[in-house]
Structure 1
Amino acid sequence: MASKSSLLNTLPTNPPAQFLKEITDGFSDARKLGEGAFRTVYEGILQDGEKIAVKKLSDNAPVAPEKQFTIGVGNLMAMQHPNIVRLLGYCHEPQKKVIEHSGRYIIVDVVESMLYYEYVPNGNLDKYIFDASFRPDWKTCFEIIKGICQGLRYLHKEMDRPIVHLNLQPSNILLDENMVPKITDFGLSRLFGEELT
């Protein structure tokens, strides 16, 4: 049987937006994993049944979608750590859309920006903190805390240029099938040069 990583290696490089739309069932609400102000995350199911997470950036983000996309991709592509969610690829595709403006229909250019990354099945840390029925035992809690600390140390000390997340909260800590924490959602992060403290 092929390993999970080898199955994921069969994904197309920089797939078209249509491919990501198809594997998320047209970005259906039934496949929605989470939603933020400027993005929605969907479950994508590949032909072999393997799951991935597809983050679709909103057209109405106050930060230019291209800039947000570049920040997210640049930061995630550089990171290789067991406590950081792994970016598998991206789609950045210009498209024409028809919109209504002042009672007239016009054609505008929009860029579809999406990231796809490893699927993390146990959701985010929110429910494990705030819902007592999901709360794990102390040993698991300690391992989660330790994993988050290891991920942050990697970002702050082991990267060539330190990365500060700027939006670290329970909803941005995902838990895999073994309850290993993975830091995600670097849309607000910034790279700091050596001249800054």
Structure 2
Amino acid sequence: MLTSSSNCNGDEFISEVSTIGRIHHVNVVHLVGFCSEEMKRALVYEYMPGGSLDKYIFSTEKSFSWDKLNEIALGIARGINYLHQGCEMQILHFDIKPHNILLDDNFVPKVADFGLAKLYPRDKSFVPVSAARGTVGYIAPEMISRSFGAISSKSDVYSFWMLLLEMAGGRRNANPNVANSSQAYYPSRVYKQLTRRGTCEISDVVDMHELEKKLCVVGLWCIQMRSCDRPTMSKVIEMLEGGSDDLQVPPSHSSVMMSNSQEWILTIYRPT
């Protein structure tokens, strides 16, 4: 994989390359080299023969078993957690989505495309709003307005949830071209399907696999509107490694707020 976008100066570019070059994790794509000539810069990553995850989860011809989907979700979570906690500098990806998850020849997932990534000391919780980037449908509310909270590693957690739901549902979470919110916003439909009225218990949904339920419930925690209410990626890993019987769905009022916030984002970005 080759990328050639960088807004930093030469010294900053070399510093970032040095940090990214020291990343060694089974679920993060490996940097094999770079080029820098005046303002032209490129990063060269390892070749991933399986291509990107979106080719499989949005296709009727290619599909994975629920066990494999859970395994892939867990691998992605471990890769993101490594970027947040396992590196010398905290790496915030800011563009987690199926297109940026690459698969090797054994379908092991690797987090890729660090074109929007930002490096911060791990003890630095505040990220400037100028760092706000992302893709519509995956971007966290605080990336649009600070009224939703501070930009942090929890912004990647939000995006991971959107990816989880797409893996579980085999469809895109949101369609910014659809004006009807019930069609444009998939997560709120999943919440209603998973819960009994007035409780936070997971209902016995007909034709819904246990691992599908787990992916959805874990995701519902990741999509909390306030970033401080979302779990860390290490907690997400713990939930994915456990059973669905140990999970509870977030309170219903959180789901309503989450739906409103994402629909607001869709409204901002909807083409005129």
Query: TM-score when scaled to structure 2?
Result: 0.42
Structure 2 letter corresponding to 1:57: S
| Aligned partner of 2:61 among 98, 108, 133 | 133
User: Per the alignment, in what secondary structure is the counterpart of residue 52 of structure 2?
Assistant: coil
Q: How has the CA–CA distance of structure 1 residues 193 and 84 changed in structure 2, closer, same or farther, with 3 Å as cutoff? A: same
1:154 and 2:65 correspond: no
| Aligned partner of 1:78 among 22, 42, 46 | 22
Counterpart CA distance in 2 for 1:72 and 1:121 is 26
Counterpart CA distance in 1 for 2:15 and 2:99 is 20
Counterpart CA distance in 1 for 2:12 and 2:54 is 24
1:57 and 2:4 correspond: yes
What's the counterpart of residue 43 of structure 1? none
Counterpart CA distance in 2 for 1:90 and 1:77 is 10
Q: How has the CA–CA distance of structure 1 residues 72 and 192 changed in structure 2, closer, same or farther, with 3 Å as cutoff? A: closer
Residues 34-78 of structure 1 show CA distances to partners (whole Å, capped at 9, x for unaligned) of xxxxxxxxxxxxxxxxxxx3x1515xx7x3575885475244212
Counterpart CA distance in 1 for 2:12 and 2:92 is 15
**How much does 1:90 deviate?**
0.9
User: Per the alignment, in what secondary structure is the counterpart of residue 57 of structure 2?
Assistant: helix
Counterpart CA distance in 2 for 1:83 and 1:133 is 25
What's the counterpart of residue 121 of structure 2? 193
Structure 1 letter corresponding to 2:35: C
> Within 5 A, what are the aligned runs for 1:1-197?
53=1, 55-57=2-4, 63=7, 66=10, 69-70=13-14, 73-94=17-38, 111-197=39-125
User: Per the alignment, in what secondary structure is the counterpart of residue 50 of structure 2?
Assistant: coil
CA contact (8 A) 1:65 1:113 kept: no
CA RMSD of aligned residues (A): 2.3
Counterpart CA distance in 1 for 2:56 and 2:9 is 32
Identity of aligned residues (%): 38
**How much does 1:169 deviate?**
0.9
Residues 86-145 of structure 1 show CA distances to partners (whole Å, capped at 9, x for unaligned) of 111111124xxxxxxxxxxxxxxxx33122121001111111121121121112111110
User: Per the alignment, in what secondary structure is the counterpart of residue 44 of structure 2?
Assistant: strand
User: Per the alignment, in what secondary structure is the counterpart of residue 114 of structure 1?
Assistant: strand
**How much does 1:156 deviate?**
1.4
Counterpart CA distance in 2 for 1:118 and 1:128 is 20
Counterpart CA distance in 2 for 1:130 and 1:191 is 31
Structure 1 letter corresponding to 2:55: K
Structure 2 letter corresponding to 1:121: P
Q: How has the CA–CA distance of structure 1 residues 169 and 161 changed in structure 2, closer, same or farther, with 3 Å as cutoff? A: same
CA contact (8 A) 2:85 2:122 kept: no
CA contact (8 A) 1:93 1:112 kept: yes
User: Per the alignment, in what secondary structure is the counterpart of residue 120 of structure 1?
Assistant: coil
Counterpart CA distance in 2 for 1:147 and 1:186 is 17
Instruction: Structure 2: state its 5+ residue gaps.
Output: 126-272
Moved over 3 A (4+): 63-72
Counterpart CA distance in 2 for 1:186 and 1:71 is 14
CA contact (8 A) 2:31 2:46 kept: yes
